[in-house]
Structure 1
Amino acid sequence: MDSRSDGEIAVIGVPVYAGRVPEPAAARLRAGVRGGGRPAILAVVYGNRAFEDALLELRDLALELGFVPVAGAAFIGEHSFSTPQWPVAQGRPDAVDRDKAIAFGRSVRELLEGVSEPADLRPLEVPGNFPYRQGVQPSSICPETDARTCVLCGGCARSCPSGAIALAEGSVLTEPSLCLRCCACTRACPAGSRVMRHEKILEFGRMLSTQYAQRREPEFFL
């Protein structure tokens, strides 16, 4: 996207990792997206704990890329560390979330219909702090593969957003320094062979399940 086309609106959505926009998502946007003055609706999705600086960071990134941010939203999805035993926002987004998203979209449309140009709107203000909080840091912690049940289908590697997983010589190899601990690979594995066993992560998941059990609702900023 290199120049504005009348009537086009960009929707930019990212997950929240440790209160920040994940670095691979920011890098991909910088590498391949240009706003050209288009209005942009920004959305972050977090696991019922907090979205912290992520929406502010996404707004700043959208401005850097040449978009005109006109609205922002923070939605809730099931947390990466959620398990059947220790659920965190299980089943989210749900029907209530979808209804609120539809209402948000209508509000954005009405907002844009009230101005001749997106730049005529007041600058979008969203919560967050700058400098941004520290995001995901490199670690030796990552999901493991149970070689006894792994069928080497490659689903884990295909699902990994950071390219941390590869199949080689009949085994699954993981580069821990690239792992975001998003646990997408554990959910993609059809055999249940990809698992997170590290006690630090399991304990964090138990804490989230008990301390952040109260339902949080989507937040919208216009």
Structure 2
Amino acid sequence: MKKIIIAIDGFSSTGKSTLAKQLAKQLGYVYVDTGAMYRAVAFFAMQHHYVSEDHLDKNKLVDSLPDLHLHFEFNPELGFAEMFLNGKNVETEIRTLEVSRLVSKVAEISEVRSKLVEQQQQMGKHKAIVMDGRDIGTVVFPNAELKIFMTASPETRAQRRYDELVEKGQRVTFQDVLQNVNERDYIDTHREDSPLVKASDAIEVDNSVLTKKEQFQLVLNLVNDKVMA
């Protein structure tokens, strides 16, 4: 059975990471959450006061990139790899609404994207990898054997994100989350460098009314078609 690269792109809060983790576990593949990498850079920028809702010091952030080291470490208790920033586990810190509000602004910076894309491409040199993000099928792995583009209505995605944050004990309102979803959609699809677009050979999956189990089975069938071809 041949090894392939599975690229999963799509809008925020469409469940890309959940699906990618399921596939990686089922196939014995490496899973890479590129969104976590951009979130970690945004968190780093927040810590150093390079970015806020009304401020972005692009030059200082770019100058600091050589000192920014990212890596994943697998957590057997959780069943997935967690994000480490300069040797510290930041998996919890990067999932807040505050980081969500700023991550697209940081991800627009070409130098940030170049640094992370280079790392991501190295991770996929030996295939057998599932990677999710915004530009995996268009920029990181344009020759990936299987490309999935995930979408759902903004309201559906905001509700999922809201439920997730509340479950983690964060105090948020649905309207704030919906506004964040819409703002991220706009930034992701309108940035000059690697905007979020569906690759011409990607298969679109609208999971607005799909259960996680239905979605997983649908995409697993697509994977099996590729690895058995």
**TM > 0.5:** no
Bigger Rg, structure 1 or 2 = 1
Q: TM-score, normalised by structure 2?
A: 0.30
- Higher helix fraction: Structure 1 or Structure 2? 2
TM-score (norm 1): 0.30
